Structure 1
Amino acid sequence: MFSPLRSHSQTHPSAMPSRRSTQDEQYALLQNGENGSQELDDDYSHRAGESKRRPAWYQPEARQSALTWILALLVIVVATDGIALFYMSRIMKTVFADLGTDELEFANPYHGLETLYRSGKINASKIDPIQNLPRVVAQVFPDRPKELAPIGEHDLFNKVFGTLSPHEKHLHVSPNVHTIAQFRALDFGMEECSVVIQLPGHGDRIEGSEPFRFNQLSVFDVYRLNAPKPLDVRKLSYSTKPPAQERVASLMAKGGEETLVTTFPCPWGTLHTFEVVCGEGSDCLVDIWSSQNTTYGIYMYQHQTI
């Protein structure tokens, strides 16, 4: 009677583990599903928090757009600066260019005077010779041919007026120093000129602190230079000085008097340039400064011709 039950009970235990394993698997899958869902929720919340914390421009698209605008603005600024610099450079080379006055026409302030005096209807007044100081007096150095002529040796600075350039000229001649002087004849009807050298004599007052040095046995040669334009002292040196045309005098200067160098016609407005050097074989020396009140050195007289 009990054998069927036993056989049933024998088969039932074999089915029980299968059921439990299925439940266990479902429970494990449920747990895994819950864990995965929680991980996804955590990852989403983490990304959402990051997106909330980051500003809008931090997004890749916004960053790329911002970089594009920055580069465009930089290109515009650079192009504007380049155009401005080019324009300023062009203005400095044209409008504000330092062209000098060498090429400008020397205007005639004496219109009609020549015709008037040639007509014979008027007689000129008697006029004494006019002293004409050189426009340029500068030294060049044959042993240093590229050294520029000195400029502003006696310039001084004043707190009120700034830099002052005293009206002084320097005649300095030695075997290694030449002096170049340039004159411009200006006055109408005073067109006969004579160049002279004047040195102080014994007991004459010399202004300033510069000593007067002079070798009385000195022999000087004076040359006329071919210089139809005003000299630019800033560029003047022995290697750039105008070429010599002719020797106009060889002389021995004397202290305390004027020594005539040469006489020549000098139409108004013309330039006349001379170079004073040591005569051949002469160990010459003269070193003298003129001032506002003295005319030592080399200068010119204009004599009346009408």
Structure 2
Amino acid sequence: MIELKNDELQVKINEHGAELTSVKSVDDQIEYMWQADPKFWGRHAPVLFPIVGRLKDDQYTVNGQTYRMTQHGFARDMDFMVIEHEDDHAVFQLEASDETREKFPFDFTLQVTFTLDAHMLSVHYTVTNPSGDVTLPFSIGGHPAFNVPLEPGNGDFSDYSVTVAPKKAYQQIPLVGPYNDVKHEKTLNLTTPMVLDHDLFNQDALILDLDHVETTLMLSTRLNDHGVALTLQDAPYVGIWSPYPKRAPFVCLEPWWGIADNVDSDGDFIHKMSIHTAGPKESFNVGFQIRFF
């Protein structure tokens, strides 16, 4: 377990999956991150790579060859190397191996960088294509889960809300089972805060089309001054999720550079909706920030 710390926050990150597992306030020891109770969901904040969401029948093709890969990819279940570590900074790295090539026939280097600055934790993804002649296709995303309520015994799920800025009506991409149905986008009015209710998630995650516009989602309550604010600069989508019908005491705010297969997907990875590419020797850089208050 790798620890970062400053005068405001104590942070823990597991080398397994480069997964953020704990963010605590130094002053009052409030734990912001969901603690992975398997009764509800046994993860904290997995890294989603090289896919976000589910593939049709958990399989896809590249150059006519079929490969199998389960939801959200394999990075979340692999051990990363720690290549840098200071009090306020750590870099985790995963490289392609014989094991990954069985599921994903491409070379890659994935780095996840965590940087702590006062009340802010920045998370940065760098996907590098080491190949000299093959283009690397992929998706990537985050899945951080936050305790609701933040203080045990102080409030309930419905006492919290998610405020989205810019305040406007967003296009929402519905899910049909685990697959996206972008042809039947809905409109979700977020000009006012969205009060949390478990029934919001009866069709799985709420997926907002951000169109790469800088967006902040704030999880907060009228009962106290504590919450989190997640900011994305250049993401196509964000997911808001809590497991249903379980009445789980957490909600996820998920920055996505990718999305589950479309209901009409042909299975060819290159045709996959919201796939990104890194050319030979190129890198792809994205990230997000979480402010804890």
TM-score (normalizing by structure 1): 0.25
Q: Where is the strand percentage greater, Structure 1 or Structure 2?
A: 2
Pair member with larger Rg? 1
Which structure carries more relative contact order (alpha carbon 8 Å, separation 6+)?
1
